[in-house]
Amino acid sequence: MKAMLLDRIAPVSDEPLRLVDLPDPRPGPGEILVRVQACGVCRTDLHVIEGDLPRHTLPIVPGHQVVGVVESRGAGADRFTTGERVGVAWLRGTCGSCGYCERGEENLCSASLYTGYHEHGGYAELCVVPEAFAYRIPDAFDPVQAAPLLCAGIIGYRALERANVPPGGRLALFGFGSSASVVIQIALHRGYQVDVVTRGDSHRDLARAMGAGWVGAPGELPPDEADGAIVFAPAGEIVPEALRAVRSGGTVAMAGIYMTPVPELDYETHLFHEKNLRSVEANTREDGRGLLREAAEVPVRARVTTFPLAAANEALLRLKNDRIDGSAVLVMD
């Protein structure tokens, strides 16, 4: 199979991914082999490739927003039929028996494994995943539209739940990339009012076009206090701004897997009056199922720029430099 392989940690400007031929993988017991149709390009991929996250498997095929069809099944794998369309996301394994897993908090399992980080992912023509961690893709989405939902969508959905916005409430989004462009559609469908703070004229234009009631640049605060806010930008200096933007008793959810240091917070200004600051770590499978179900009801339509598999380095560089409005998706020949 053809794949984009990472064998050294380096800036994406150095084009560290190489187009190579690898042996076709084979599914083991309880696994399925997926013929990849599309794979989203995620900011987490940047953090893996450039070394912002702790190093794990190298060489590795990145990519964890995978949509394809079941090519074959390993022994005992009977959840999906051959030819059925499935999605593969970031979370690909947990122990299933620790206290976190038993409480439905499998995203906090210390033995969790991740696609494109511990095992090869979707920047390839084929990938293998345990069938228990694959998702059925609703008919409402074609492969390119579905791909961004499998991380940008799922993480945005979990962050939205943790932001604790009441019915008819006001939500503030800080950063307007792939995840926020999905979340705003769900939030508006729920009846929330949405304000957006983001850098880049094109991102602000997109936020307005997608229904944001107010749009501003970093350093500006929405004119009305929000019930909840989500910080999508991986910039710690945004966190105090977000805390100032929410009302007493409001909640700020930090959606990134990586963030630069958060500056010193002033208790009276940022945290008093029972303001809540919450992080988001990965997702549970129930988050994935909930997101796909609600996204099909809306229906969510991702703003997508497509690239061929061999152009993965270019897609990543454009993502890093904020030259992608919405989501980038690799498509297979």
Q: Do domains 2-150+282-331 and 154-279 have the same CATH topology?
A: no
For residues 38 and 330, is the Cβ–Cβ distance under 8 A? yes
Report residue 154's pLDDT band, with 50, 70 and 90 as the boundaries.
very high
The predicted pLDDT at position 324 comes to: 94
Tell me the average pLDDT across 145-170.
Answer: 97
Residues in the chain: 333
Model confidence at 44, pLDDT cuts 50, 70, 90, reads very high
pLDDT tens, position by position, 241-258: 999 999 999 999 999 899
Helix (H, G, I), strand (E, B) or coil at 328: strand
Residue-range domain boundaries for the chain: 2-150+282-331, 154-279
- The CATH classification number of 154-279 equals 3.40.50.720
Give 183-199 pLDDT, tens digit per residue.
Answer: 999 999 999 999 999 99
User: With 90 as the cut, is the pLDDT of residue 333 above it?
Assistant: no
- C-alpha to C-alpha distance for 325 and 204, rounded to whole angstroms: 10
* HEC sequence for 68-135: EEEEEECCCCCCCCCCCEEEECCEEECCCCCHHHHCCCHHHCCCCEEECCCECCCCECEEEEEHHHEE
2-150+282-331, CATH topology level? Quinone Oxidoreductase; Chain A, domain 1 (3.90.180)
